[in-house]
Structure 1
Amino acid sequence: MSYPNLFDLSGKTTIVTGGASGLGLSIAEALVENGAHVALFDLDQHGLEEAAHRLRRAGADVLNKTVDVADRDQRSQKPDAHSELSGSNSR
């Protein structure tokens, strides 16, 4: 499904939990299509790598991190997605 110009997120950084597949990946695709930089968080490392590769092929600036957002310690160690995503799509 395509959502061009639904809203302008140019230069904004977003975090999508569950971004390796399904609804999370669909949300990430819509955000990217509207200009956002996207950080994908999920437990599925292989799925994250595939999702990030798919988004990068479309020209997206993507960061992917294997994170269990239900784990307080892992949440507190989350990356500064904005800093890590500024200006590069090679992560």
Structure 2
Amino acid sequence: MDYKSIIFRKFTHESLRRIEHYRQEESECIASEQLEQQTIVEHNYDEHHRMNKSSKDESVDPKQIPNKELAVGETLPLILQYRFPSELIGIPIEEIDS
């Protein structure tokens, strides 16, 4: 993980709006994919099965796998501890794990 690119930001109402917007987009994308898959099933189950398998393989993005070093309740890696702004100690921050 590239720790140099991490920026610590206070969690704000805007942070929450961005998360809600992201979740809405994800929900719409998933609904669209499910509708597309349902249509394929109606035409040909075998073709659907092959496409579903390949789309699962393609959808795994290594950037989206959570970093165990940044798990909730864990101590920040040393490289990040020194960069953490003292004014944010004890204040909710935005998610830093990609």
Q: Is TM-score (shorter-chain normalized) higher than 0.5?
A: no
Larger RCO: 1 or 2 (CA < 8 Å, sep 6+): 2
Greater helix percent: which structure?
2
Greater strand percent: which structure?
1
Give the number of the structure whose alpha-carbon radius of gyration is greater: 2
Report TM bin, short chain. Answer: under 0.3
